[in-house]
């Protein structure tokens, strides 16, 4: 299919292409991701998601930010109803913004007020650039916050985070990770770089730059370069190992498993038995396959490509 800004986030695009968010969704909870693909579940936009988009569109363009604010007016702005003394008609009057968006305005001001970050904002490039390519024979799509083409190509990603310097413990690796690793941004950088190289027909990885602003009362800021060819190789090998299972589930050849803890799993949970208390311990937790009616098609989108 021909990807555009209008259909990029559509169900049709989700069925035709893999994406970083879809891949990550399968790793988090196969059942929820399949419910989203089949239209049985729609994630409610979280406050963090909306504030992140508010921040992104402000750095993208005035037009994009104005459109986002108009589309999410009641979430962003505090209002009161005022009655016109002459006409007697009532109208909403803006009295301010809700706290998360006032904080986001501080973050935007910090970004625009820094000389280094402003150089990236003013750099000639294409905002929200869409590209697609094949990774292990599977179609992937990406949408880049800002793309600078030519020699020394650059992918620029605007990111907000609670605290740039906080680390999170990863039980699988047995160590603490930065927010870059914890939220899969190195996986994203690896995928974006592979797709961009196909798009530009070059062998060199593009520069992958994250402009990070924290959500603290006094926002912190950093410009981070993620390029690391060995780590990219590791991330791509992880994708290669996991794709066969993901594609089998997506095609309906295997039943998806439920993580048991996400919004979807809680909303659709059924109890079957009394559990011993130790099943609450992470090492003893169980995953259950998603239940479906006999013959029910999970997703009508067979993938013809084969991983390998």
Cα 213 to chain center, whole Å? Answer: 17
Residue 245 has pLDDT above 80, yes or no: yes
Q: What angle do CA 16, 288, 277 make, to 5 degrees?
A: 145
Residues 171, 118: contact at Cβ < 8 Å? no
Residues 190, 236: contact at Cβ < 8 Å? yes
Q: What's the pLDDT score for residue 305?
A: 39
Residues contacting 148, CB < 8 A, separation 6+:
123, 124, 125, 126, 154, 155, 156
DSSP secondary structure letter of residue 162:
S
Dump pLDDT digits (tens) for 25-59: 999 999 999 999 999 999 988 898 999 999 999 99
User: How many Å apart are CA 107 and CA 124, to the nearest integer?
Assistant: 22
- Helical H segments across the chain, by residue range: 11-16, 20-28, 30-37, 47-60, 62-71, 73-76, 99-113, 115-122, 179-182, 185-200, 229-251, 263-267
Residue 225 has pLDDT above 80, yes or no: yes
Q: HSE on the CB side for 98, CA within 13 Å?
A: 14
- Whole-model pTM: value is 0.88
Q: What's the pLDDT score for residue 307?
A: 39
Using pLDDT thresholds of 50, 70 and 90, give the confidence band for residue 87.
Answer: confident
The residue among 202, 222, 226, 199 whose CA lies nearest residue 212 is 222
DSSP conformation letters of 11-40: HHHHHH-B-HHHHHHHHH-HHHHHHHHTTS
Residue 308 has pLDDT above 70, yes or no: no
Backbone angles phi, psi at 133, to 5 degrees: -165, -175
Dump pLDDT digits (tens) for 163-194: 999 999 888 788 999 999 999 999 999 999 99
User: How many Å apart are CA 132 and CA 139, to the nearest integer?
Assistant: 7
Q: 3-state DSSP: the chain helix, strand, coil percent, rounded to 5?
A: 40, 25, 35
Q: What's the pLDDT score for residue 292?
A: 64
Q: What's the pLDDT score for residue 297?
A: 45
Dump pLDDT digits (tens) for 51-82: 999 999 999 999 999 999 999 999 999 998 88
Residue 295 has pLDDT above 70, yes or no: no
Six token digits for residue 183: 């939220």
The residue among 71, 76, 210, 231 whose CA lies nearest residue 154 is 210
User: How many Å apart are CA 225 and CA 14, to the nearest integer?
Assistant: 29
Place of tokens 């413990």: 169
């Amino acid at each position: 299919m021909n990807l555009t800004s209008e259909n990029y986030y559509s169900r049709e695009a989700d069925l035709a292409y893999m994406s970083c968010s879809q891949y990550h969704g399968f790793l988090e909870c196969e059942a929820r991701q399949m419910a989203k693909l089949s239209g049985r579940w729609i994630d409610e936009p979280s406050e963090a998601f909306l504030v992140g988009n508010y921040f992104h569109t402000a750095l993208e363009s005035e037009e994009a930010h104005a459109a986002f604010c108009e589309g999410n007016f009641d979430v962003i702005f505090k209002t009161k109803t005022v009655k016109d003394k002459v006409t007697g008609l009532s109208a909403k009057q803006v009295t301010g913004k809700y706290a998360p968006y006032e904080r986001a305005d501080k973050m935007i001001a910090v970004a625009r007020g820094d000389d280094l970050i402003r150089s990236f904002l003013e750099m000639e490039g294409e905002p929200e650039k869409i590209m697609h390519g094949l990774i292990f024979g599977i179609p992937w799509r990406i949408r880049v916050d800002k793309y600078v083409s030519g020699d020394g190509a650059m992918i620029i990603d605007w990111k907000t985070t609670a605290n740039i310097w906080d680390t999170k413990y990863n039980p699988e690796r047995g160590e603490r990770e930065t927010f870059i690793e914890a939220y899969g941004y190195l996986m994203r950088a690896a995928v974006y770089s592979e797709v961009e190289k196909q798009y530009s027909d070059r062998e060199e990885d593009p520069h992958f730059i994250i402009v990070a602003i924290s959500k603290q009362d006094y926002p912190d800021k950093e410009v981070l370069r993620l390029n690391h060819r060995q780590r990219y190789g590791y991330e791509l090998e992880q994708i290669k190992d996991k794709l066969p299972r993901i594609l089998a589930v997506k095609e309906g050849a295997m039943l998806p498993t439920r993580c048991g803890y996400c919004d979807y799993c809680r909303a659709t949970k059924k109890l079957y038995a009394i559990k011993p208390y130790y099943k609450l311990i992470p090492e003893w937790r169980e995953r259950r396959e998603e239940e479906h009616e006999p013959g029910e098609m999970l997703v009508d989108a067979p993938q013809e490509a084969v991983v390998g």
